[in-house]
Structure 1
Amino acid sequence: ELDRLVAVMKENPTMVIKIESHTDSRGKAVYNKYLSDRRAKSTRDYIISKGIDPKRIESAIGYGEERLLNGCDGSIRCTSDQHQLNRRSEFIIVNM
C-alpha cells in the first residue's frame, strides 16, 4: 500500500501529507510510543526513498496506544483481530 501512496503523491505533485502511526494497548505504553514513532519514521523514510521530496511530509508521529479505534485498552478482553484494528498508520492529506 505504501507504493500506492507514492504513486498518488507522484500524480499529485503538490500533495502534502502527515503520517500518524499507532499500536494496540498490549505492552508497556512507553514501548508502544517508541514502536509507533519508529514505524512512522520508517514509513517517512521509505516514501522519501521512492523519490518524494521530504518537504511534502509535514510530520511523521507515533501515538502509541493513545488513539485506539475501539475499547481495547486493557480493561476489557479483546480478540487478536480487535487489537489488530489499533495497529495502523494513517496518512492525512494536508494540502492538495
Structure 2
Amino acid sequence: MTHKTLSIVHPNGTRIANGEKTIEVRRWLPPADLTGDLLIVENKNFLFNEGETDIGTPVALVKIKSVRPFEEKDIPAACASRWEPGY
C-alpha cells in the first residue's frame, strides 16, 4: 500500500501523532489533490531542497481537513513559537 507522505522534524511528528499539534505550517502550498490519507514521517533533520533525504519513522496517518493561510491565533495549535505572514 502506498501513501502520500509528509516529512516532519522531531518532535513535531510525535506531537501530531499524540494530537498535541493540529496545524502544520508550510511556506509552500501542497498539491491540489489532498484527498485520502497522509502518512506523517518524523525525521531528525530539516530537508530544505527537493531530493534531500533522511531516514524517518512513520508516526501517524492523518487526513487533511483544510489548507489556509497561517494566522497568529494558530500559534498554540501549531506548537509554534512565533507567527510570520506568508505561511
- Determine which structure has the larger helix proportion and give its number: 1
TM-score (norm 1): 0.28
Bigger radius of gyration: 1
User: TM-score, normalized by length of structure 2?
Assistant: 0.30
